[in-house]
Structure 1
Amino acid sequence: MTYNFESDLSEAFGQLLKTETDYNVIIHIGKEPNFKEFHAHSCILRCRSEYFNKTLSAENIEEKDGKYIIKLPNILPRVFNVILNYFYTDKIDIANKTGTELLNFMFASDELMLKKLTNLVENSIIKNQQQFLQNDPIGILQIIYYCKSLVNLQEYFLDKICSDPGILFNSDKFTQLPAPLLEIILKRDDLNLKEIEIWENLIKWGLAQEKSLNQDVSKWNQDDINIFKRILYKFIPLIRFYEISTEDYFNKVKPYEDIFSKELRDDILKFYMIPGYKPKYTPRHPKCYADSIIINQEHLIIFTDWIDKKKDVKYIYNFNLLYRASRDGNTAKAFHAKCDNKGATIVVAKITNSEQIIGGYNPLFWDSSNGNKNIKDSFIFSFTNKSNLQSANVVYSIGNCHVQCYPNRGPIFGNDLGLNFSSGPNIWTYCWYLLNCYPPLDLPNSINVDDYEVFQVIKRY
């Protein structure tokens, strides 16, 4: 019979750390005035950390009075104290740590090559410390960028910034962002800013890099123009000038045209003056981009907020077009062929002779099982004018809500909103009073729809 005395072993090693019996390693942690000396055992360190195993095996390791000397000036003593205890007891508690403490733990564990602990802390930051990430975007960006092994956190935070650029661009410290990091962000295809806003922020950043420049560009001389050109030369090719309106270009871009190359100025002029001219540029296609003829990226951001409204954690989503009635055939068979068993979906329909759109979110999936599926956290919505985001209205499912999954029907949310083809392929019905799966949405009972689209909702983080 085998017995497990793991807890006793953990306690024994913890006691060994406290008594420091027969220790043979001295570790200098931090810098004055935040410095502390720790004592440990090489056999424990070798087993627990790849970093210490390599360091203790090095031929040139420093020794004094028969003890190894290791110096780690970049790690905080209070952080290393917890990690050292983890080495001996295999226990660590990060539940009540602040965001700053978690980052310090993560960077220390990364330097010590503790992959398991690094991943644990990184996941904790992603799940529980979103406000912390927003408090100092410049500082956090710099830290995670230069710590190359933190790939997940880098991608997560860059995704958050591109999805909600105000986190970075509205920061008081935005102009302190290092040029390499700004370049990385402007190269991203999912940066959710209008092109003129990207340009305005770039000008703001550029002017802050050279204090001698007059804020009024009309007062610049050739030396000023040359200075600004050197500051922005890497970024000019990243701006999609062709997505800027002629009015905005004239008022906000043209004053700086002297920093452009002649080729770029000519290309922009041809684009605005010659109908059908195709400029030499690569348009930005956001990752949060939906191949839609009904909605745009701004709607997707709102959908993301609605999906996450009842969750403690905010996620990043991709929206993959599964079905468009006008493209794939406005039949129940076509809908189910494209949309069944695809996971969570958003359905969006355009009302005839108006700018109004309606739709709903199915957090489960569609199928042809000839019955209803109970769901939670579903919603249906309406934009009175799809161009006016303030006209949005959303109502969430209440009680035992369901979606209808019948092979001869389209998407139907409860008994409230959907397409059952009984009145024709373009007539959606709204009958909230029959079952009350959702609160009232102020829609007519019969709705004529031009087209509708279904998007697969894929959670990234």
Structure 2
Amino acid sequence: MSSKFWADLSNDYEKILESGFGYDVIIYVGEEPSIKEFHLHSSILCYRSQYFYAAFSNEWAEKNDGKFIFRKPNISPQLFNIILRFIYCGNIELSNLQGIDVLKLLIAVDELNVQPLISYIQEFLIEHKTEFLYQNLTDILEIVYQHETFTDLWNFCLENICEDPKILFNSDKFINLKASLLELLLKRDDLNMNEIEIWENLLKWCFAQQNIKNIDPTQWNKDDNTTIERSLRRFIPLIRFYDIEPADFFYKVYRYKDVLPQDLINNLLEFHIVPNIKSKANITPRKPNLKLDSITIESKHIPLFSSWIDKKDSSYYNKKNIPYDFKLLHRSNKNGFNAQSFHKDCDEKGATIWVAKIKDSTQLIGGYNPLDWGGNCGLKTTLDSFLFNFTDGKNISNPRSGYVTDMNAAIYCYNNQGPSMGGLHCYDSISWKHFCGSNYYPNIGIPAKFKVEDFEVFQVIKK
């Protein structure tokens, strides 16, 4: 018979950590004026951290008066203390940390080679700090590229950049991207850009790298041609030239014929001029991983919608664990901008999300109806509906949402209105009203009067 007293054991080791009793290791952590001295134990450190195991085993650690001495100026005392709590007690608490601090903690954990935490912290970042990752994808990609153990974050960044390449390609940091990192991106089959855009961005990067000010190839001399040709050489096999439209090929590719392989130019000319000639490409067209039929939102909105539907306050879904499919039922500019066509497409379809773009702005508003829109029965009751507002629909970092506060006025089902909810009335026109003073939903910044450019309704289907 065996008994387990893990809590008592953890508490005892915490006392050892805090008291430093019997210590034989001194570690100075942080930089002036915030250096903190930690008194620790080599026997515990070496079996919980591969970094310290190597230091003690190979005797490369500094030693003074029988004590091992380490200096870690690149780690903050706060983060180092979190790591020590895990090493000594097996406990870790990350929920009170900002996203940037969790990332710094991950880098510190990688340096100290505390293997169990490397995967755990990556998973925590992806599940709980999604907004921070979206806001800083380019910077994080550069950091992750330098740490081969950050495979989960690496995949997260690549998948999201490939899905929305403008995050990277339209940023000021793109022209400073490492060549090896750009090469990895151009190899991706799921890079969601038109091939001509990829080619133009590659040229922009190349010109910046070589400090080429005059981008007109007719004005280049022999040395310019040689410089550009060498800079482009490693990337040329990665461009799907055969997927570029003839007009774009002529005006945006062929003009650079002097810096491209001659056989490639000849083959492309033959492909575009001679009827029924097959492509000689040795790579297949890109296949972006797009499952959302929408011109209003992007697939990056879906984890947020799914998380709000399931009332997940902080542990948001990521794109790999979304439990719902979103099927387009109605697009006003295509199916009809009137209540009749809305109800024809959306009644008796169960739970739906609707999204409207406010005219002459980038603002998106919308709501979730967990019931249905049928019946012409006036008010429907629920505690699970919500409204949301994106000030800039392209930016998902600061959305506002609010669940219904008066369940008796959650949903309005009238044949002469669109997706009306609470104080938001979607009349049979492009002019909608929001009674901001109503108490049916929280005030999340939806205007009092506005015109709608387009709106879409999606059926929410449990996978």
The two structures have a TM-score, normalised by structure 1, of 0.66
Q: What displacement does 1:262 show?
A: 0.7
Pair 65,303 (structure 1): closer, same or farther in 2 beyond 3 Å = closer
Q: Distance in 1 between matches of 2:132 and 2:303?
A: 22
How much has 1:167 moved relative to structure 2? 1.2
Q: Which amino acid aligns with 2:225?
A: I
Indicate conservation of the 8 Å contact 1:25/1:39, yes or no: yes
Equivalent residue, structure 2, for 1:231: 231
Q: Could you tell me whether the CA contact under 8 Å between 1:162 and 1:192 is conserved in 2?
A: yes
Give the RMSD, CA atoms, in angstroms: 4.5
Hey, what's the Cα distance between the residues in 1 that align with 2:280 and 2:232?
A: 19
Instruction: Give the fraction of aligned pairs with identical amino acids, expressed as a percent.
Output: 35
Greater shift after overlay, 17-26 or 186-195?
17-26
* Partner residue, 1:273: 273
Q: Is the 8 A contact 2:303 2:319 kept in 1?
A: no
The correspondence for 1:305, drawn from 301, 308, 318, is: 301
Partner of residue 318, structure 2: 315
- Cross-structure match for 1:15: 15
- Once the two structures are TM-superposed, the CA of residue 128 in structure 1 deviates from its matched residue by 3.0
Do the aligned residues in 2 keep the contact of 1:346 with 1:457 (CA within 8 Å)? no
User: Is 1:398 equivalent to 2:398 in the alignment?
Assistant: no
Larger deviation, residues 262-271 vs 302-311: 302-311
> Partner of 1:176 in structure 2?
176
CA distance in 1, matches of 2:115, 2:103: 14
Q: Equivalents in 2 of 1:314, 1:257: separation in Å?
A: 47
Q: 8 Å contact 1:160–1:316 — kept in the other structure?
A: no
Task: State the SS of the aligned residue for 1:68.
Answer: strand
Aligned to 2:286: 285
> Is it true that 1:112 corresponds to 2:112 in the alignment?
yes
Say whether the 8 Å CA contact 1:159–1:316 is kept in structure 2. Answer: no
Q: Residue type of the partner of 1:241?
A: F
The answer for the alignment partner of 1:186 in structure 2 is: 186
| Match of residue 446 from structure 1 | none
- Indicate yes or no: 2:133 matched with 1:130: no
| Post-superposition offset of 1:305 | 3.3
What is the CA distance between 1:174 and its match in structure 2? 1.0
Distance 1:379 1:213, change over 3 A: closer
Match of 2:383 in 1: none
Work out whether residues 29 and 75 of structure 2, in 8 Å CA contact, stay in contact via their aligned partners in 1: yes
Q: Classify 1:20/1:397 alpha carbon distance in 2 versus 1 (closer, same or farther; 3 Å).
A: closer
Q: Equivalents in 2 of 1:87, 1:275: separation in Å?
A: 69
How do 1:220-259 residues align onto structure 2 when only pairs under 5 Å count?
220-259=220-259
State whether residues 397 and 437 of structure 1, in contact with CA within 8 Å, keep that contact through their aligned partners in structure 2.
no
Instruction: Provide closer, same or farther for how the CA distance between residues 13 and 245 of structure 1 changes in structure 2, counting only shifts above 3 A.
Output: same
Give SS of 2:139's match: helix
Q: Which residue of 1 aligns with 2:385?
A: none
1:450 paired residue number? none
1:400–1:437 contact (8 Å) kept in structure 2: no
Is the deviation greater in 178-187 or in 94-103?
A: 94-103
- Comparing 93-102 with 48-57, greater Cα deviation is found at 48-57
Deviation at 1:253, TM superposition (A): 1.9
Deviations 1:250-283 (A, max 9, x none): 2222222211011100011011101221222223
CA shift digits 1:275-328 (9 cap, x unpaired): 2212222233325157xxxx98x7797466357435254633699xxxxxxxxx
Q: Conserved in 2, the CA contact under 8 Å of 1:23 and 1:41? A: yes
Tell me which residue corresponds to 2:158: 158
Q: How far does residue 66 in structure 1 lie from its aligned partner after superposition? A: 1.3
Q: Residues 375 and 394 from structure 1, CA distance in 2 versus in 1: closer, same or farther, beyond 3 angstroms?
A: farther
Structure 1 regions of 5+ residues with no counterpart?
Answer: 320-342, 360-372, 383-389, 403-431, 443-453
For normalisation by structure 2, the TM-score amounts to: 0.66
3-state SS of the aligned residue for 2:211? coil
Query: Is 2:24–2:67's contact at 8 Å kept on the other side of the alignment?
Result: yes
Alignment partners' CA distance in 1, 2:254 and 2:152: 40
CA distance in 1 between partners of 2:368 and 2:138 (Å): 39
Q: Which residue identity does 1:305 align to in structure 2?
A: H
